[in-house]
Amino acid sequence: MQSSKGILAYLEDVWYNDIYVKGSVIAMKKKKNLLVSAAEGAAVVSASVYAINQYIFWDATKKELLKPAEASCYNWKYGNIYYSKTGEGSPVLMLHSMEAFSSGYEWNKMAGMMAGQHTLYMIDLPGFGRSDRNPMIYTNYIYVQAIDAFIREVIGEKTDVITSGDASSVALMATRMKNAMIKSIIMIHPESFDHMIRKVSDQDQRVSKLIKMPLAGTLTYNLVINRKMIREKLEKEYYADKSRVKQQDVDAFYEAAHIGGSNARFNESSRLGAFTRANITTALKECTAGLVIIEGSQVLDRDKDKDIYSHFYPRMKFEEVFDTKALPHMEAPQETAEKCLSLLASDRSSEDD
């Protein structure tokens, strides 16, 4: 019969060899299997997300609505800038708004009505539409440099500028560049002062950072920037009469938002992070170019912004397009084109005098 000491030694040996050692090996195998399963699961999820993203990009761009017969590219330091040129006469540079779905397509309806009197340059700003889209933070100053270089190297003479939405701040800040070549700026529904000075919300900051992430960010961008969202935004915020919103315009905006694949998301990340904003008060005070604001009659709080713009630039002129909102050049292109032509003609007359 074994002594109690011998029994204890036996139990310790059984515990160490059969339970601790073998159990640890089994546990390690289980952990390894779990890790392998997790890795395989992550790979499947990543592949699925990638496939979903690729399908969305293909579906959005398959109609090639933004592929005109004639187009040109300006080889700028941060990539090619796409532009189309039409018409004859003094030059006019047209800058689209800076929503994720924006591009020079905005001006298509109005361009034909102005081309008889002016040479029109309709560009896609860097990171938008058909221009190169780089994985970078797009700042207001980057856009200022882009249009300043474009005017100098492509247009080659002093130019009138027509802007849409928040591109107004880009044109205004460009007037502060050395020997700026901007004669006048017609700002259609310019960015509100409240928006320019408003603190970035926590939600926008989170989404801005999320969108920059490779797979999850691309998927988030694709889920947010969809056809339904674009149509609702046009019907509720941009058009006074939602019956004027055409499916082709929705499809063209959707395509513009997805050209360039996963890099398409960086302009929206920059916008949400407020990198595209600028404090324009000094630019307004010191501006020597002629400034005009064209606003839709149905835009809320338009009188408030009129007062603020006039405070910093007392010579500001104001025009209104009846029964429109934020995109009068798309909702009422004939009337908007006529106002722009009249304003440009009056500026030329004042120069001659």
Q: Identify which has the larger pLDDT, 169 or 9.
A: 169
Cα–Cα distance for residue pair 266/47, rounded to 1 Å: 22
The secondary structure of 135-188 as a DSSP string is SS---HHHHHHHHHHHIIIII-S-EEEEEEGGGHHHHHHHTTSTT--EEEEEEE
Q: How far is CA 142 from CA 149, 174, 184, in A?
A: 11, 10, 21
Instruction: Please compute Rg for the chain using Cα positions.
Output: 28
For the segment 115-135, the average pLDDT, to the nearest whole number, is 96
Share of the chain above pLDDT 90, in %: 73
Q: Identify which has the larger pLDDT, 147 or 13.
A: 147
Question: Which DSSP letter does residue 319 get?
Answer: E
Share of the chain above pLDDT 70, in %: 85
Does residue 11 surpass a pLDDT of 60?
A: no
The secondary structure of 24-86 as a DSSP string is HHHHHHHHHHHHHHHHHHHHHHHHHHHHHHHHHHHHHHTT-TT--SS-EEEEETTEEEEEEEE
Cα–Cα distance for residue pair 235/279, rounded to 1 Å: 30
Does residue 69 surpass a pLDDT of 90?
A: no
Cα–Cα distance for residue pair 155/72, rounded to 1 Å: 13
pLDDT band at 351 (very low <50, low <70, confident <90, very high): low
For the segment 150-169, the average pLDDT, to the nearest whole number, is 97
Residue type, 139: T
pLDDT band at 46 (very low <50, low <70, confident <90, very high): confident
| Chain position carrying tokens 């592929």 | 67
Does residue 38 surpass a pLDDT of 60?
A: no
Q: pLDDT (tens digit, 9 = 90+) per residue, 182-233? A: 999 999 999 888 777 777 888 888 889 999 998 889 999 999 999 999 999 9
Question: Which DSSP letter does residue 198 get?
Answer: S
CB 121 within 8 A of CB 91: yes
Burial degree of 302 (CB within 10 A; 0-12, 13-18, 19+) = middle
Looking at residue 352, its pLDDT comes to 54
Looking at residue 5, its pLDDT comes to 46
Q: pLDDT (tens digit, 9 = 90+) per residue, 230-282? A: 999 999 999 999 999 999 999 999 999 999 999 999 999 999 999 999 999 99
CB 125 within 8 A of CB 153: no
The model's pTM is: 0.86
Looking at residue 332, its pLDDT comes to 97
| Chain position carrying tokens 């090639």 | 64
Residue 142, C-beta contacts closer than 8 angstroms, at least 6 positions apart: 78, 126
CB 15 within 8 A of CB 7: no
For the segment 167-185, the average pLDDT, to the nearest whole number, is 96
Looking at residue 10, its pLDDT comes to 45
Looking at residue 320, its pLDDT comes to 96
Residue 326, C-beta contacts closer than 8 angstroms, at least 6 positions apart: 165, 189, 237, 238, 296, 299
Q: pLDDT (tens digit, 9 = 90+) per residue, 298-350? A: 998 778 888 999 999 999 999 999 999 999 999 999 999 999 999 999 866 55
Cα–Cα distance for residue pair 230/211, rounded to 1 Å: 18
Looking at residue 12, its pLDDT comes to 44
pLDDT band at 67 (very low <50, low <70, confident <90, very high): confident
- Judged by average pLDDT, the poorest of 8-17, 51-60, 118-127 is 8-17
Mean pLDDT for the chain? 87
Q: How far is CA 6 from CA 13, 14, 15, 309, in A?
A: 11, 12, 14, 96
Looking at residue 197, its pLDDT comes to 76
